[in-house]
Structure 1
Amino acid sequence: MDMAFWFVSLACIGALYVATICARPLAYLALCLRRPKDLHSYGSWAIVTGPTSGLGRSMAMELARRGLNLVLLDLDAANLQETSDAIKAVHAVKIKTVVFDLSLVATPQACVLVVGDEAMGRLREAMDGLDVGLLVNNAAVNTPGAVYLHEADIERFVRMIRVNLWGLTEVTAAVLPRMLEQGKGAIVNVGSGSTVAVPSFPLYTVYSSTKRYVATFSRSLYVEYKSKGIDVQYQVPFYVHTRMLSSAVKAKLRPWFVATADEYTRTAARWIGNGPLCVPGAAQKLQWCLTGFVPDWVHDWYRIRLHLQHRAVTRAARSGSRDRGHPVPTPNDNSVGPKIRG
């Protein structure tokens, strides 16, 4: 009797575990069958941080294709102008730009051209009078890439934290009051697969830690503001072809494993407003589901080996550039640029 009891108990636990894992693709299928939300129901303007390359640029293009006017925030005025011109060339939308280096948030240097104003004042001024209904916090840094903690200049990690954590928090806090006044809005925080798919992300430790903050931040805001008409969502891309992932590392990845920025954002825009967490894209959703069957110790073993390869490839590429007399590349260094995925 005891043997039969334990056998049935373990079988039930196993069945519940498998059912939990299988619920992910079923939820994704249900979304595919559902009509996407009309983003205009939130408002006619969207704010996108880090819009000049990678996922940020693709998302800005996708939102413009859907007819939303844009406020674009980036540190480089020339890049902002080029992005704005490129969007206007194919979509009849209004665009405002804000030059702001998120790595200077919470520092004495976070001042603006107008004496006496704070840096965030420029964003608030740009939003004045606009029907802002959507914020996409895309900006992030992953400098200096795959390294041991003791190998990197600590100031680079501090800069990463300012952009990925403090900058995102302050931009969100600046936008929320207007959404509360309107009683509607949507906030999308772009994260990383390192926060939901694996127990550790060695050699990218500080980066993945900042993204875990964003995950908790997003979920808590979702609970806080859902009843006030504001949808907060944490979107989790896995590997995506952006500058955040160096070309040397991309060459080591299988093509089916890495989505293009446009492929990702087309699906990501469809998910906006549908739940607190999503992994856009069928292939990336499959990767997420499969990781759930792997024990933590296997993840840890595999990740340290894979990321040591990333470290070796990047160091070799930099060494080759030095030998040829070329400037040493600094991949993943863009204070409001796109993100690494994985």
Structure 2
Amino acid sequence: MVGMTMEWPEIFIVATSALGFITLSKALIYFARWVWVMFLRPPKNLKTYGSWAIITGSTDGIGKAISLELASKGLHIVLVGRNPKKLEATSKEIREKHGGHVQVKLVVIDFEKVVNGEEIVKKIEEETEGLEVGVLVNNVGMASPYPRYFHEEDLEFMEAIIKVNLEAITWVTKAVIEGMFRKKKGAIINTGSGSCSMIPSYPLCTLYAATKAYLWMFSKCIGVEYKSQGIDIQCQVPMFVATKMVKLKTSLFIPTAKDYSKGCIRWFGYKESICVPYLFHSIQCLLIRMVPDSLVDWYLMRQHLYLRKRGLAKYSKLKA
């Protein structure tokens, strides 16, 4: 028995080897699962939730692209937006591509100007009465026209971004989720942002990042509440997408809204409460996590100060 006793150096080597094996195994399992969900996992048949999908912020960018993608899957579409002409244009595009197979309903709401949440709830409930709503995509959102210090934000903009990014999503979800609860099925997808989750901070865009952080926690909490009720709730996290709001050119890490929507649709209805659905955004997030937070903060502050300078110059010319 004495000869079998392990010395401290041997115990340390065995413990270190075991820890290394566990760490490597976890990394391999994570990578295998990432490959599965990104490339191999089949998309869900969203029509099993219901025949209608509601999309807010549906006349431009990601919202419009998602509306077209969902219509291509055979879902009838409720387009929610503030501009009747843009809503009609998106509706016409859907009808031209899918003929009489897809019905489209338009709901005009200006979330910036709505007096209270009860008004939103009643409007959505009235407009969708009798429809088998299975999917809700909370995509409406707004951001400052350029980065600026918090004290520089005007009161009108501050009130508007809180109403659109925070209140609107809360009230639209309230209007829809009770019907999903009664039939014990539904999918709610909230469009979040990497500004509040994949990076340590987002200086000079404080209100935008803060309201998106609310959406992150809101999604996680109600996801747990309704998981056993057949309602799958997910917050999708895009990094930069080439839209009118972002005003960036496309690149490997900045997809078009159409390309992004094709990736994010594949995740609809799955159990991940938080996800980064676009392939190169997922890779980008992994690279960011390898960099110290202080370095990311320094880079973003420097970048946003540059964009602030450009924004101030542009808007001063417009006012001149």
TM-score, scaled relative to structure 2: 0.88
**Aligned twin of 1:99:** 108
> Residues 21 and 292 of structure 1 are in contact (CA less than 8 Å); yes or no, is this contact kept in structure 2?
no
- For 1:146 and 1:15, the matched residues in 2 are separated by 46
Q: CA deviation at 1:102?
A: 1.3
**Aligned twin of 1:203:** 204
* Counterpart among 22, 46, 55 of residue 48 in structure 1: 55
Higher RCO (CA < 8 A, seq sep 6+):
1
**Aligned twin of 1:268:** 264
**Aligned twin of 2:221:** 220
> Residues 56 and 139 of structure 1 are in contact (CA less than 8 Å); yes or no, is this contact kept in structure 2?
yes
- For 1:198 and 1:19, the matched residues in 2 are separated by 26
User: What 5-or-longer segments of structure 2 have no aligned partner?
Assistant: 1-6
- For 1:38 and 1:48, the matched residues in 2 are separated by 18
**Aligned twin of 2:4:** none
Q: CA deviation at 1:177?
A: 0.7
Q: CA deviation at 1:233?
A: 0.4
Q: CA deviation at 1:122?
A: 1.9
- 1:59 equivalent in alignment to 2:66: yes
**Aligned twin of 1:316:** 313
Q: Secondary structure at the match of 1:318?
A: helix
- 1:255 equivalent in alignment to 2:240: no
Identical positions, percent: 39
Deviations 1:197-256 (Å, cap 9, x if unpaired)?
A: 11100011110011111000001111111100000000011110011113xxx26xx722
**Aligned twin of 2:76:** 69
User: How large is the RMSD of aligned CA atoms in angstroms?
Assistant: 2.5
Greater C-alpha radius of gyration: 2
Give the letter for the 2:113 counterpart: L
Q: Secondary structure at the match of 1:302?
A: helix
TM-score, scaled relative to structure 1: 0.83
**Aligned twin of 1:27:** 33
**Aligned twin of 2:142:** 141
Larger displacement relative to structure 2 (80-89 or 8-17): 8-17
Larger displacement relative to structure 2 (17-26 or 289-298): 17-26
- For 1:317 and 1:18, the matched residues in 2 are separated by 51
Seen in structure 2, the aligned counterparts of structure 1 residues 104 and 66 have a Cα distance that, compared at 3 Å, is same
> Residues 121 and 174 of structure 2 are in contact (CA less than 8 Å); yes or no, is this contact kept in structure 1?
no
Q: Secondary structure at the match of 1:256?
A: coil
Q: CA deviation at 1:271?
A: 0.5
- For 2:308 and 2:126, the matched residues in 1 are separated by 43
Aligned residues: 310
**Aligned twin of 1:187:** 188
- For 2:300 and 2:140, the matched residues in 1 are separated by 25
- Within 5 Å, give how 1:327-338 maps onto structure 2: none
> Residues 120 and 172 of structure 2 are in contact (CA less than 8 Å); yes or no, is this contact kept in structure 1?
no
